[in-house]
Amino acid sequence: MLSCRVCGGNDLDLCIDLGLQPWCNNFLKREEIGSEPKYPLRVFYCNKCSTTQLDYTVKKEIMFGDHTYLSGITKSLSSHFKNIANITINNYFDSANKSAINVLDIGSNDGTQLKHFMDIGCNVLGVESSKTTSEIAKSNGIPTINKFFNKELAESIDGKFEIINAAGVFFHLEELHSVTEGIKHLLSEEGIFIVQFLYMKSIVDNIAFDQIYHEHLLYYNLKSISYLLELHGLEIFDAFLSPIHGGSMIAFVTHKNTKEKTYRLMKLIKQEEESNINKKSTYLDFSRKISDLRVRDLEYLGKAIEQGKKIYGFGAPVKGNTLLNYFNLGTETLQCLVEKNKLRKGLYSPGMHIPIVIEDELEDLPDIYYVLAWNFKKEILERNSSLIDSGIEFYFPINPSIFK
């Protein structure tokens, strides 16, 4: 029987079914094409704690043993991380001696977030499961443990941390409760845990269903993540919504009953209540909107192909593969995916097998760019204004309202 990853209850209902999909970070070498396994991609709603979640778990050793996502790669992400470091220090540690502040980053990737804390004068430590990215972090001078973070690992680390950060990992976690206990264990008495997560309310508002993929086992609103944290003696006292990743919640957490809840947090909680975002009916409605989006885009792309237009995908983000597979878009529609991350050079998208071409090496231009990396809309439109002026269309399948 299916049990909820957060509350353990058994009263869950299927809301969204995106079919069988490959693990979407599994970019393929030519000889691997067609050999990739596929797994169910389905979102269930828990009637007890309201957490939306996948029922099927692709093992973490498969998903996070080695990955090619680099957080330092985009300007907007790096400046977001800088902003987070500054906000945290200015708001909560303004008068503290910076060299006495220990910062732990869980899922520290290439060390981009920690570098900003280090620049302020803090002591930093990263935990990162991917070998490739943790090697990059180490070569940049960021102390990094190349392991999965959980309670056991937490207990092997000496000392406490004034700041613990987890950006975009809290929904990956197979060992959800062990990780949360590890954080509780390592957080100093007045310490602050920053949890950054894709905000399910933004996903629903933007119909950004491509954020649903196997690495994201859980999709939180403030209500559901609070439920989880409170099970482990932690609570959110402050939060704000950031445009990063198309809509992320940045929540500040402490040990229970140590800090008063801020006005802006109370306002966000009220917005959740008023929008019915924590109700099942919202997710059934979301599922219908996803189907409508598919019909709309297939019509648009079909017409463009009929008119003889050449279409390339813009970006080869991990999440793009959910969309490509659910829409069943292959090379007959998108000839290639144009990408900046050189680690994906020469690879093919899982499931639909579209070749990836590195932006600098592109030999010709399409009539239409179908933008899979839509969360960088502002940056993309600015950077490509001359292409747009020359008549190339940038089509965004998903339009984040947060930028409007």
3-state SS of the chain is CCCCCCCCCCCEEEEEEEEEEECCCCCECHHHCCCCCEEEEEEEEECCCCCEEECCCCCHHHHHCCCCCCHHHCHHHHHHHHHHHHHHHHHHCCCCCHHHCEEEEECCCCCHHHHHHHHHCCEEEEECCCHHHHHHHHHCCCCEECCCCCHHHHHHCCCCEEEEEEECCCCCCCCHHHHHHHHHHHEEEEEEEEEEEEEHHHHHHCCCHHHCCCCCCEEECHHHHHHHHHHCCEEEEEEEEECHHHCEEEEEEEECCCCCCCHHHHHHHHHHHHHCCCCHHHHHHHHHHHHHHHHHHHHHHHHHHHCCCCEEEECCCCCHHHHHHHHCCCCCCCCCEEECCHHHCCCECCCCCCEEEEHHHCCCCCCEEEECCHHHHHHHHHHCHHHHHCCCEEECCCCCHHHC
Nearer to Zn ion, 48 or 353 (CB): 48
Q: Establish if 229 lies at the interface with Zn ion (CB under 5 A).
A: no
230 vs 359 by CB, closer to Zn ion: 230
Assess contact for 206 and 246: CB atoms under 8 A: yes
Q: Is 46 in the site for Zn ion (CB under 5 A)?
A: yes
Closer Cβ to Zn ion, 4 or 251, answer by number: 4
Dist. CA 71–CA 89, nearest whole Å? 21
Segment near Zn ion (CB under 5 A); pick from 41-49, 158-166, 248-256, 326-334 = 41-49
373 HSE (CA, 13 A, CB side): 20
Give the residue with the Cβ less far from Zn ion, 4 or 186.
Answer: 4
Q: In this complex, which beta carbon is closest to Zn ion, that of residue 7 or of residue 336?
A: 7
CB of 151 to Zn ion, least distance (A): 21
Could you say whether residue 200 binds Zn ion (CB under 5 A)?
no
CA distances from 102 to 117, 191, 210, 275 (A): 9, 10, 36, 39
Cβ–Cβ contacts within 10 Å for residue 319, how many?
26
Is residue 49 at the binding interface for Zn ion, with CB under 5 A as the rule?
yes
Q: Is 6 in the site for Zn ion (CB under 5 A)?
A: yes
Q: Is 7 in the site for Zn ion (CB under 5 A)?
A: yes
If one asks whether residue 398 binds Zn ion (CB under 5 A), the answer comes out as: no
Where does this chain touch Zn ion (CB under 5 A) — which range of 9-17, 106-114, 242-250, 311-319?
9-17
* Contact window for Zn ion (CB under 5 A) among 39-47, 85-93, 111-119, 214-222: 39-47
Span from 5-13, 36-44, 158-166, 267-275 in contact with Zn ion (CB under 5 A): 5-13
Stretch that binds Zn ion, among 50-58, 252-260, 276-284, 353-361 (CB under 5 A): 50-58
Closest approach of Zn ion to the CB of residue 174, in Å: 16
- Residue 4 within binding range of Zn ion, rule CB under 5 A: yes
What would the x/- binding string for Zn ion be over residues 289 to 328, using CB under 5 A?
A: ----------------------------------------
Number of shown-chain residues binding Zn ion (CB under 5 A): 8
Q: Which span (1-9, 79-87, 151-159, 370-378) binds Zn ion, by CB under 5 A? A: 1-9
Residue number, 12 or 402, with CB nearest to Zn ion: 12
Q: Who contacts 382 (Cβ-Cβ below 8 Å, separation ≥6)? A: none
Angle between helices 320-327 and 280-306 (to 10 degrees): 70
Task: Give the per-residue contact string, 131-170, with Zn ion (x = CB under 5 A; - = no).
Answer: ----------------------------------------
Contact between 177 and Zn ion (CB under 5 A)? no
Is residue 15 a contact point for Zn ion (CB under 5 A)?
no
The distance of closest approach from Cβ of residue 154 to Zn ion in the complex, given in angstroms and rounded to an integer, is: 24
Q: Which stretch binds Zn ion (CB under 5 A): 42-50, 99-107, 141-149, 396-404?
A: 42-50
Of 32, 36, 39, 48, the residue at the interface with Zn ion (CB under 5 A) is 48
* Residue whose CB is less far from Zn ion, 208 or 225: 225
> C-beta of 51: minimal distance to Zn ion in Å?
5
Residues at the interface with Zn ion (CB under 5 A): 4, 6-7, 9, 46, 48-49, 51
